[in-house]
Amino acid sequence: AQRVTQPEKLLSVFKGAPVELKCNYSYSGSPELFWYVQYSRQRLQLLLRHISRESIKGFTADLNKGETSFHLKKPFAQEEDSAMYYCALTGNTGKLIFGQGTTLQVKP
Amino acid sequence: NAGVTQTPKFRILKIGQSMTLQCTQDMNHNYMYWYRQDPGMGLKLIYYSVGAGITDKGEVPNGYNVSRSTTEDFPLRLELAAPSQTSVYFCASSYSAVSYEQYFGPGTRLTVT
C-alpha cells in the first residue's frame, strides 16, 4: 500500500538551530516525492520536489531509496520557517498521497 | 491570474442538509482535485478529474459527488450532510499528473451540527 509517514506532529527549535523534518514512505515502484508547506493564513504551496534537486528557502531534501525516506533539512532555522509541512508522493496514477503533516515552530 | 478560488470560505450546515462547494481555476489546468483535511490526519483525496467530463473517486468519496462540465470548474456536492463531514476542504489543480505541482485553493471550513 502507498503510505507517507511523518512521525512528528510538532517540531520545536530555536532560531539558528538545524532542522530536520522526517518523512518515510511506502511504495512499490519509483515514486515522485514532494514537500508542501502551509504558512499561517496562506494556502498550501509546493516547497520542493525531489526530481528538481533544488534548494528552496534554504531547505533541501534527499531521496534515500534504501531507507525509503525523504527528510527535509535546513541548517539554520528562521522564525519565518514556522509553518505546517506536508510530505507527499505520487506514483504512476498521479494522485498525491499526503503524510499527516508536521508543525514546525521556530522560537526566537 | 487568480489561480484556484473556492467559495464559500466558511459554512455551517445542519445534519441532513445539502450544499455545493465551488472551485474555479483560471490556469487552464486539465487536472483538478478535491481534498479534505482533518486535524492530525493530513489531506485525503475525495475526487479528482483529468479533464472536462471525466471524474474518478479518490480515497474517501462516500457522501460526496462531483461534476466537471468545463475545464475551469469542479464543484463538490455534499448530499445529506453528516457530522463526519466536518472538515476543511481544499480544491487543487495541476497541468498534468505525475511530477507536476498542484496549486491549491484557500480552503472551505465546513461544520456540520
pLDDT in tens, A48-83: 988 777 888 999 998 898 999 999 999 999 999 999
Task: Name beta bridge partners: A83.
Answer: A104
CA atoms within 13 A on the CB side of A10: 5
From CA B87, how far away is CA A70, in angstroms rounded? 28
According to DSSP, residue A79 is labeled G
Number of Cβ within 10 Å of residue B52's Cβ equals 16
Q: What is the pLDDT of residue A30?
A: 80
Residue of A46, A95, A99 lying closest to B45 (CB–CB): A95
- 8 A C-beta contact, residue B71 and residue B4: no
Q: Do A92 and B98 touch (CB under 8 A)?
A: yes
Q: In the predicted model, is pLDDT for residue A11 greater than 80?
A: yes
- Strand-pairing partners, residue A87, are A35
Q: B34: which 3 cell numbers? A: 478535491
Name residue B30's beta-bridge partners.
Answer: none
Q: Is the pLDDT of residue A1 over 90?
A: no
Chain B residue whose CA is closest to A91: B98
Give the C-alpha separation, A35 to A98, whole Å.
9
Please return the burial class of B5, using the count of CB atoms within 10 Å of its CB with bins 0-12, 13-18 and 19+.
middle
Q: For a pLDDT cut of 90, what percent of chain B falls above it?
A: 87
Answer yes or no: is pLDDT of B99 > 70: no
Q: pLDDT, tens digit, for every residue of B62-71?
A: 999 999 999 9
Q: What is the mean pLDDT of chain A?
A: 92
Q: Compute the distance between CA of residue B43 and CA of residue B39 in angstroms, rounded to an integer.
A: 9
- pLDDT over 90 percentage in chain A: 70
List pLDDT tens digits, range B20-60. Answer: 999 999 999 999 999 999 987 889 999 999 999 999 999 99
Name the DSSP letter for residue B101: P
> Which of B111, B112, B110 shows the shortest CA–CA distance to B7?
B110
Cβ–Cβ gap A100/B102 under 8 Å: no
Nearest beta carbon to residue B40 from set A9, A91, A95: A9
Distance from CA of B45 to the nearest CA of A (A): 8
